[in-house]
Amino acid sequence: MTETWWPSLDGVVTRLTATVRELRRMGHELLIVAPAGGGPEFEGIPVFGVPTVSVRFIYGGKPWGMPLPRVVRLIGRWRPDVVHAVNPFFLGIAAVWAAERHRLPLVASYHTNIATYARFYHLGFFEPLIWAILRALHNRAAVNLATSGMVQEDLVRHRIQRVRLWRRGVDLDQFHPRHRQAAMRARLTGGRPARWIALYVGRLAREKGIERLVHLVQGRSDLHLALVGHGPAEADLRALFRDTPTTFVGPLTGQALAAAYASADFFVFPSTTDTLGLVLLEAMAAGLPLVAADSPPTRELLNGSDAGVLFDAKVPASLTAAVDRLLAQDLRTMGQRARQEAERWGWREPTRELVQFYQLAQTIRL
């Protein structure tokens, strides 16, 4: 039961897509409950779409699935071995309700820094209330999963109990240096493929810190910024990056996304609010060195691997200095190191680990 699903495109959907595919390969039977809009099934897995509600100025108008009684009745008819609430906040209320009503083990996983994101939508005064809601929902779960060590510490600090680390993963076949294409380089640069290409992939939203990247391209003719994705801040960003060497590529999926990663020269990640940054792993798998804002998750991911450099998000000159440091090195060698580091993180082992958490939840009585 997830707060985010197709047709949305973000790291949570990417992780869930890979996870349900792997669970299916392992022989498990699944039912997905999600906000309506993504269709009645996903690759043969039934999807129960619930009506949504959204407010334009809250999280960019994100649709939230409503925690209706029909969801609880559905779970009662289906009788799963375990209920997994992904990012429980609104629809997650129904996950907790269903698990308790039908005496089913509940696992909850935390993927999005909802409380911190509130600051970027002029709702920072709600942050204590949001944490109170998250704490109330997560503490009804037998097992809570964090996607990085930093997030695990943060959840414990906010008095969320029974927290375990669910390791990251990436599709090592889809994201690979062999997908490099001259045509994609031309597309990313608006027909100027000889320039260095700095790639960003993700939502175009306030909390992602994309405006920091304008310092990278102002007054430069040797470097081009490609922004892949869409989101509520796109109009403002187009105005900000006007007259700079920047291409708004739009959303990409599948082989087109894989080609975009492999065809760039390095990846830029300006966010300090992400809990993991799955796009970083995708970039590394494609053989891209990283230039990332310094934060606990990015430090944890790079972990002395020499696959990239960090910059201070509070100091604009730090980004340009980091890129200059990167370009002074052998990008091919750095890209090979990035790929080698990513090869530790296929999806099979994290999914096996998830099944073990499901089994653990069945042994815990609250």
- Can you give the pLDDT at residue 116? 67
Whichever domain contains 320, its CATH number is: 3.40.50.2000
Say if 135 falls within a structural domain. yes
pLDDT tens by residue, 268-307: 999 988 866 789 999 999 999 999 999 888 888 887 678 8
E strands in the chain: 32-35, 41-42, 45-50, 52-53, 64-65, 83-86, 106-110, 143-146, 163-165, 196-201, 223-228, 246-250, 266-269, 290-293, 308-311
Helix (H) or strand (E) segment spanning residue 70: helix 69-78
Span 4-13, average pLDDT: 89
Residues 218 and 313 in one domain: yes
Specify the higher pLDDT residue, 298 or 51. 51
**Is residue 129 located within the same domain as residue 24?**
yes
User: Which residues on neighbouring strands pair with residue 107, listed in sequence order?
Assistant: 84, 143
**What long-range pairs does 362-365 form, CB within 8 A, spacing at least 24?**
362/81, 362/82, 362/105, 364/105, 364/142, 364/143, 364/162
Written as one letter, the residue type at 78 is: W
Q: Can you give 324-359 as a three-state secondary structure string?
A: HHHHCCCHHHHHHHHHHHHCCCCCHHHHHHHHHHHH
Residue 267, pLDDT above cutoff 90:
yes
Helices and strands, number each (H, E), in the chain:
15, 15
Judged by average pLDDT, the poorest of 106-110, 122-126, 319-323 is 122-126
Q: What pLDDT, in 10s, does the model give residues 166-180? A: 988 999 999 999 999
Residue 337 lies in a domain: yes
In a domain? residue 156: yes
Domains: count for the chain: 2
User: Which H or E run contains 177?
Assistant: none
Residue numbers of the domain that contains 32: 11-169+347-361
- 196 with 167: CB under 8 angstroms? no
Pairing of strands 223-228, 163-165: unpaired
Residue 5 maps to a domain: no
DSSP single-letter state for residue 260: H
If asked whether residues 194 and 209 sit together in one domain, one would say: yes
Residues 163 and 181 in one domain: no
pLDDT bracket for residue 118 (50, 70, 90): low
Do 157 and 53 share a structural domain? yes
pTM: 0.81
Give, for 76, the enclosing helix (H) or strand (E).
helix 69-78
- Nearest CA to 91 out of 133, 43, 143, 57 is that of 133
**Any domain includes 106:** yes
Same domain? For 254 and 215 the reply is yes
pLDDT of residue 119: 66
